[in-house]
Structure 1
């Protein structure tokens, strides 16, 4: 049985001009410990699908189950990282990370030590008493990831968490996320519009198109782990990139300049 099961999901919004279908006929199964990226252009419903998985929005039709249980609100044992860090400026970085434990009713030295260890792992050691407005965008997003990981969630949902970061910071966080996954084997659903990022991180890449949002192909990424940035220069990696670009070009999402 898949850890995450999505069957026949449709999401429709009302509008002054009538209903708008954001998602249609979404079928997807994610195994426990698998890293799956959802890849597609803006407006294809990637974030909407993630919100439905997180129980933040209800599907208009279809079923979603997590760990064999039909979804009714946010699933237990879930961590989520949004596009924006959503840190509270009046709390220190450490206190922002500890919010997750507060909501779960956890406290004590062990929780604090875990928070400090995560901050150290993500390069934020020594910044725990700073406030968000004192940190760069990349550092803030690192803190947001620490917050999501604090209670050791079994399911980690990430909605384009690195989209607003510079290329070097993004590469650094891709590597750290890959190491975290390698160490913990959490079930990860990662939304991105970056082709290289999706291939580098994932066991499978779910490709979506828009109008309405739908899955057009699921690609198994058969690349060895652990993965290093130099792998992106390999011929095998390049073939995955070319395949994705060609498919998106055939859908009119990308221009294909090949003869």
Structure 2
């Protein structure tokens, strides 16, 4: 889906072969990474809520395929339905129009082998950090003892070794969010859904977690759908970035990110990275979401 905005020749993908935008419905037809099969298929999805003043349309006409093993970010302003779309993929919200399938099977509830990280860590203050991570095993009816070594390994990877027996209220916000990511990864999900997990963190902690998340994806090639407000964050982490507008929430463009991996923070200072940022900013400026200049 291409935006109807007139392109800016200085930053348009048409003048820069390193940047490509794609129609969501045609994603599986593109070469290279695009040949990966669809893990999540979204067709004509709409989501509405009832209110005293009539229906509120949160999403309309969403067509998108999430490829198996890709890192896809959903980017847009507050109120554009990013989190609502993620909750629909996670089976936490039911769509009111269209269809949504995971591995070709219509979605009727939370998909199997999926993990979710929310905007807030939602840790239980009366449980230790280790017990908070192991709660996933309890929910899924798996053995806590069998998964304890993996929980400890994850905590070590995310810099929480030595804090296993602390309680959430004893940790910083960044440390709590690291624990919530460990919890989501405990049972090795195939699909990882992340709803602005780093939005409330300071810039340095956010950079650190971006790097660790990128490394985990590089190692495991999980299918990741990541919601964010951050343009640079979306570009840094993603294979593709989905850009949304609001009233109602809809996709205006899907952009391939053709940057080498593994990625470093220094890459954000390169001209190639800057062209992606400029293109996205220009698109959102044309929609009245951002100001240029």
Give the TM-score, by structure 2 length: 0.87
1:136 lines up with 2:172 in the alignment: yes
* CA distance in 2 between partners of 1:63 and 1:76 (Å): 18
**Deviation per CA, 1:52-109, whole angstroms, max 9, x where unpaired?**
0000010001101011110001000000000000000000000000000111111154
* Structure 2 residue aligned with 1:55: 91
| Equivalent of 1:202 in 235, 238, 256 | 238
* Structure 2 residue aligned with 1:16: 52
* CA distance in 2 between partners of 1:144 and 1:192 (Å): 17
1:124 lines up with 2:160 in the alignment: yes
| Equivalent of 1:173 in 209, 214, 218 | 209
* CA distance in 1 between partners of 2:58 and 2:39 (Å): 24
SS at match of 1:3: strand
* Structure 2 residue aligned with 1:44: 80
Q: How many residue pairs are counted as aligned between the two chains?
A: 257
* Structure 2 residue aligned with 1:111: 147
* CA distance in 2 between partners of 1:128 and 1:57 (Å): 33
SS at match of 2:62: strand
Distance 1:108 1:10, change over 3 A: closer
* Offset at residue 218 of structure 1 (A): 0.2
1:99 lines up with 2:135 in the alignment: yes
1:29 lines up with 2:52 in the alignment: no
- Output the aligned Cα RMSD: 0.6
Contact 2:134 2:144 in 1 (8 A): no
SS at match of 1:216: strand
* Offset at residue 3 of structure 1 (A): 0.8
* Offset at residue 110 of structure 1 (A): 3.3
Contact 2:194 2:225 in 1 (8 A): yes
SS at match of 2:38: coil
Unaligned runs of 5+ in 2: 1-36
1:228 lines up with 2:264 in the alignment: yes
* CA distance in 2 between partners of 1:70 and 1:225 (Å): 33
* Structure 1 residue aligned with 2:30: none
Give the TM-score, by structure 1 length: 0.98
| Equivalent of 2:106 in 70, 80, 83 | 70
1:147 lines up with 2:147 in the alignment: no
